[in-house]
Structure 1
Amino acid sequence: MLEYTVTARRIDSHGSEARAKEARIVLDTDMAGRVDAFNPAEMLLASLAACMLKGTERVVPMLEFDLRGMEISLHGVRQDSPPKMVRIDYEIVVDTDETDQRLDLLHRNLRKYGTISNTLAEAVELVGSIRRKG
C-alpha cells in the first residue's frame, strides 16, 4: 500500500496553502473567489488531469507509444444541494502519428490503471474521449 501526506493551512480570509514534500500550492478559499489560485473543485479536476498525465508517462514506454505531446481539457458539473460533483467530462488530445486503435489502447490504460480516475469513477459520472491533435 502506498500512502500520501498533505498538510494545508489557512493563511487569511483570502486564501490557504497546501504542502506536500517540498511543493506548495496556493488554494482559493476566499468566499469571493480569486483568479490566481485553484478552488477545491478545480483542484479535483487538476488532480484527475495529473493522474492521467502521470499514467501516460508510465504506460508510454511499455506500449512503445510514439508521443510528442498531450493536453487534457476537463469540465466538471456541480449540483448545489447537496453540494457535490455529479459529472466530469474530459478530452485528451494527443500529438502522435499512432493509429486510432493505439490511441484507444492508451485511453483504456489511463482509465484502468489511474488511482484518481478509478476513485472518481466510483463516485461521479466520468466521461471522456481521446483524439489525435490536428
Structure 2
Amino acid sequence: MNYTIKASSILNEDAVIHIKKSHIDFGTTSMSAEILPNPAEIFLGAFSACMLKNVERFSTMMKFSYTKATVDVNATRLENPPRMDHLEYNLTIYSSDDKLNLDLLKKNIEKFGTIYNTVKLSCTISGTINKI
C-alpha cells in the first residue's frame, strides 16, 4: 500500500496539505501560531486519527457498538536534536456495550495501528482506554 499527498506554501504565508479532496491549513508563520496547527500538532493529529480509525475498524471485528470516541494526546518534545520523546494518550469510548473488551481493543490498536507502530519506533508511547 502506498500513500501520496501534496503540500504547498507561499513565502510569508501559511501552508496547506492537499489530501484527496481535503485541504488542511497549517501554520508556518509567527502570525498564525495561535490560530493554525503547526507541523508537530499535525503529527499528533495523524496519531489520533490512526487510533480513531482503528476503534471503528475493531468495533466491527470485535462486534461492539459505541456512539462516540475521543482521544486526547500530549507529547513531550526534546530540543537537541528536536524530536518527540514521549506521547501519552487517553482514549475514551462512549459505549454501553458489555462486549467491549478494553484490554483487547488496546492490544489491537497497539499491534495493528500503522501510525502508532511508526511512532513507536522513534519515541515511547503510553496511554489508557476508558469506557463511559
Normalising by the residue count of structure 2, what TM-score does the alignment of the two structures yield?
0.92
Contact 1:71 1:93 in 2 (8 A): yes
* 1:27-83: CA deviation from partner (whole Å, max 9, x where unpaired): 111145523321011011100000011111111111001212111000011011110
2:41 equivalent to 1:49: no
2:74 aligns with: 75
Q: State the identity %.
A: 30
Q: How does 1:1-134 map to 2 (within 5 A)?
A: 2-31=1-30, 33-98=32-97, 102-133=101-132
Contact 1:11 1:17 in 2 (8 A): no
Deviates more, 1:3-12 or 1:82-91: 3-12
Distance 1:14 1:84 in 2: 25
Structure 2 unmatched ranges of 5 or more: none
What is the SS of the residue equivalent to 1:9? strand
Residue identity matched to 2:6: T
- Equivalenced residues, count: 132
Distance 1:122 1:31 in 2: 31
